[in-house]
Structure 1
Amino acid sequence: MDINIVLPVLAFLVLLVALAGVRVVNQVERGVVFRFGRAQPQIRQPGLRLLIPVVDQMRKVNVQIVTMPIPTQEGITRDNVSVKVDAVAYFRVQDPMRAAVEVQNYLFAVEQVAQTSLRSIIGKSELDDLLTNREELNKGLALMIDSPALGWGIHIDRVEIKDVQLPEAMKRSMSRQAEAERERRSRVIVADGELRAAQKLADASGIMSQTPGALQLRLLQTVVEVAAEKNSTLIMPLPVELLRFFDRALQAGAGIAPAGAAAGQTGPAGPATGAGLEAGPAGAAALAAGAGPAAGPAVEQSLVEEPSRERAER
């Protein structure tokens, strides 16, 4: 056989064998090589890798973070409430050799462990913890899943509870509880406002009692505020200062009564009686007592005629 023909054929066969042993490992993958069924300790990094044809077999393992939804699990909490809980787990392959050798299908294994751990968490927790204290539950759930996954070369980044489904009766009970709590808070706030308003009013009344003019100014301010609205009728009350003026006037008239009585004793009966009547009822009584019999009948007659005149006018 001509050597010029054999050499090209051999070169072509060697090229075919070399091409058959060429493998490409992506950036997000790591290659585990099995030589005659035995795993090689060296992990193939991303890039162009050359294997021995027929002898070596490579299994690629994805090292990206995997997002795995955990199916809804139904269970009974520690306080005997039936709930349905679903979650999501984030994990990645940390050791490709263990993930390829130690477990047949690490995705299925992690999913089953996550479901059993979620049911265990539901049974150990109370309803209030599932609704409000999810951070601690997420940490506990991630720890429960991570314990067996570490032997498979899997690292659990985080686990989060997505939703907690409650029975309709429990939802109605919780809504009534929330309404009662809101009602209690509103009543406490209203009562506290009334207490503070009463305290302020008591302080204001003490200040106004010390300064009588402040009450009159407050009355005028109220009148101005009411008069700003033209759709109302304003009834002006009698000022307190005016009543006090009349009171002082009556007291002053009662103090003049003895002088009128003395004048009635020395002068004529008619002028003395008139002065007594002008000084008020107290002065009239004093004049009647000091004028003697002459003034007495006149005062009595005037006292009798005044009611008669009032009835006639009515």
Structure 2
Amino acid sequence: MSIRVVKEYERAVIFRLGRLLGAKGPGLFFIIPFIDSFVKVDLRIVTADVPEQRIITKDNVTVGVDAVVYYRVMDPIKAVTRIENYHYGVLMLAQTTLRDVIGQVDLDDLLTKRDEINKRLQDILDTLTDAWGIKVTAVTLKEVRLPENMLRAMAKQAEAERWRRARIIEAEAEKQAAELMAKAAEYYEKHPAALVLRELQTLIEVSKEKNLIVVTPRSSPIGEVLALAKAAAQSPPGQQAE
């Protein structure tokens, strides 16, 4: 009855007739039966699941936020003597701190700056639990639940933003095409033969569709070229060679 053993990751806080003697472990230690009592404390990292909290953000949007808190006992004597149930205390403190911090940020910051919010929550909890001998190692937001009407509004906003980008890209393309066409027009004005060659190339591309009839005015340069070609084809053999 006087021999006790605690594991490597445990400590035993011993009381003798109600007075604190200290912490023992790991390994073997002795107590006086019926006079000494002890409380076993686990020093491993504990995962505390913070249930979903309905919170109103700074811009008056109701969201549901849940989180996970990772902590460990650094001083087993403080964890036993300073607070009745340190696990329950950390959990309740995490809930109230989560509500306070989320209530001070906008919805956009809540969705885009999670790392900063996690760090802020960890610093606040670590400071408050230091007197209990608790070290908060990390705080992570698990999920942010939004109302259905807010989800639809955000979807419409994202769709409108994509349409805006598409129109801007299309306008930029039209601008670049217009600048290139203006340069091409200046070049064709200085070199009329290039314009005729371009018209011939266009006719060649159109002629690939055999069910189309292309009509060109005779007064145009390409019309004159086609007329000369037709006349050459209908002339006598001697004149064709000439």
Please state which band the TM-score falls in when normalised by the shorter chain. Answer: 0.7 to 0.9
**How far 1:234 sits from its partner (Å)?**
5.6
User: Which of 141, 154, 177 is the equivalent residue of 1:174?
Assistant: 154
5+ residue gaps, structure 1: 1-19, 247-314
Greater strand fraction, Structure 1 or Structure 2: 2
Letter in 2 for 1:22: I
**Corresponding residue number in structure 2 for 1:32:** 13
**Does 1:235 find its partner at 2:198?**
no
Q: Count the aligned residue pairs.
A: 225
Match of 1:208 among 185, 188, 196: 188
Partners in 1 of 2:211 and 2:133 — Cα distance? 85
Deviations along 1:63-92, one digit per CA (max 9) or x if unpaired, are 111111111111222212222211111111
1:141 aligns with 121
Instruction: Please report how far the alpha carbon of residue 236 of structure 1 lies from its aligned counterpart in structure 2 after TM superposition.
Output: 6.7
Confirm or deny: 8 A CA contact 2:9 2:43 kept in the other structure: yes
Go from structure 1 to structure 2 and tell me whether the alpha carbon gap of 1:28 and 1:216 turns closer, same or farther (over 3 Å shift): farther
2:101 touches 2:121 (CA, 8 Å); kept in 1? Answer: yes
1:100 matched to 2:95? The reply is no
**Aligned partners of 1:118 and 1:130: how far apart in 2?**
12
With normalisation by structure 2, the TM-score equals: 0.82
Q: Which of 61, 65, 68 does residue 41 from structure 2 map onto? A: 61
The question of whether the paired residues in 2 share the 8 Å contact of 1:75 and 1:83 is answered with yes
Higher relative contact order (CA 8 A, sep 6+): 2
Name the Cα RMSD after superposition: 2.5
The residue aligned with 1:160 is 140
- Alignment pair present for 1:197 and 2:177: yes
Gaps of 5+ in 2: 228-242
Aligned pairs for 1:285-296 (under 5 A) are: none
2:54 is aligned to 74
Aligned residues of 1:226 and 1:234 also touching (Cα < 8 A): no
Query: Which structure: larger Rg?
Result: 1
Work out the percentage of aligned pairs sharing the same amino acid: 44
